[in-house]
Amino acid sequence: MIRPALIGLALLLAQPALAQERVLSIGGAVSETVAALGQEARLVARDTTTTYPPALTALPDVGYMRQLSPEGVLSVGPDLILMAEGAGPPETLATLRAAGIAMVEVPEGHTPGAVQEKIRVIAAALGVDEAGAALADQLGAEIAAATAQATAEPGPKPRVLFILGNSGGRLTGAGTGTSAEAMIALAGGVNALEGFAGYKALSDEAIAAAAPDVLLVMDRGAGDTSEGVSDDRDYLTHPAIAATPAGREARVVRMEGMFLLGFGPRTAEAITALHAALYPKAP
């Protein structure tokens, strides 16, 4: 089966050799990769999830990646749209294709290999394949080194409960097959939630059964559209969490969402940072 990203690249390469100098980046990790490839000067706009490097926030914002409007995108006059898998809605993408704008869908994934593939697809779309190969090799080595160090800790691994949001005391957690579970494993932890895939609201019984040693939550920043809270006490005073090892020890780790879950150029740094938080060294 041919992936959409490869179809997009084939169509792009089949077009006349025009300079794709006006690039719109949709997806925080996509934008980070463009910058890491030294091509940020070609960006004319970005989406709301693009918050790093900070200089990119000065670019026009066309909206949230899953709620794009044709008018907002067309207003910035892109020659090429690089978009993370899942961007949309589909009707907006259809309108943009009909307008003749070149688009490349960048595949998502939660493995070191997926990070490298993301880089190669973006580099090919920008015509900087050599730089892409070099960056992919470099980041692959960095991720391997960070993972090896993080997973070499002796003894039992901490059970980590990732909470996506807290809406009126109703918590949403990350199950199997999620970017949160993948990052927890790379950093030397174990996902405390089992038995379901994706993200779902948690019952008190599910939280008790998870018995987490650590709560992992996202700091809300620019571009973070998830529900959340600003104070650890809003989690620690939740009756079900208060009864867990994490609640009793008040162990809450906060990390910025795109840094933690973006699986972009900063993946090795995220692994190292989360590992340090899960395995604090004694003073």
pLDDT in tens, 42-92: 999 999 999 999 999 999 999 999 999 999 999 999 999 999 999 999 999
Tens digits of per-residue pLDDT, 160-210? 999 998 877 789 999 999 999 999 999 999 999 999 999 999 999 999 999
Mean pLDDT of all residues belonging to the chain: 90
Contact present, 117 and 140 (Cβ < 8 Å): no
Q: Domains of the chain (ranges plus CATH)?
A: 4-147 (3.40.50.1980), 159-278 (3.40.50.1980)
Instruction: Count CB atoms within 10 A of the CB of residue 176.
Output: 13
Contact present, 59 and 43 (Cβ < 8 Å): yes
Q: Is the dihedral of CA 10, 123, 100, 83 positive or negative?
A: positive
Query: Quick one: pLDDT at residue 283?
Result: 53
Neighbouring-strand partners of residue 165: 172
Tokens of 30: 């996509």
Nearest-CA neighbor of 21 among 5, 54, 44, 49? 44
Nearest-CA neighbor of 257 among 215, 212, 224? 224
Tens digits of per-residue pLDDT, 238-268? 999 999 999 999 999 999 999 999 999 999 9
Cβ within 8 Å of residue 265, ≥6 positions away = 29, 32, 33, 35, 36, 115, 119, 135, 139
pLDDT bucket at 228, cuts 50 / 70 / 90? very low
pLDDT at 219 over 90: no
Instruction: Count CB atoms within 10 A of the CB of residue 99.
Output: 10
Query: Quick one: pLDDT at residue 282?
Result: 53
Residue that is written with structure tokens 């990769």 in the block: 33
pLDDT bucket at 233, cuts 50 / 70 / 90? confident
Contact present, 266 and 31 (Cβ < 8 Å): no
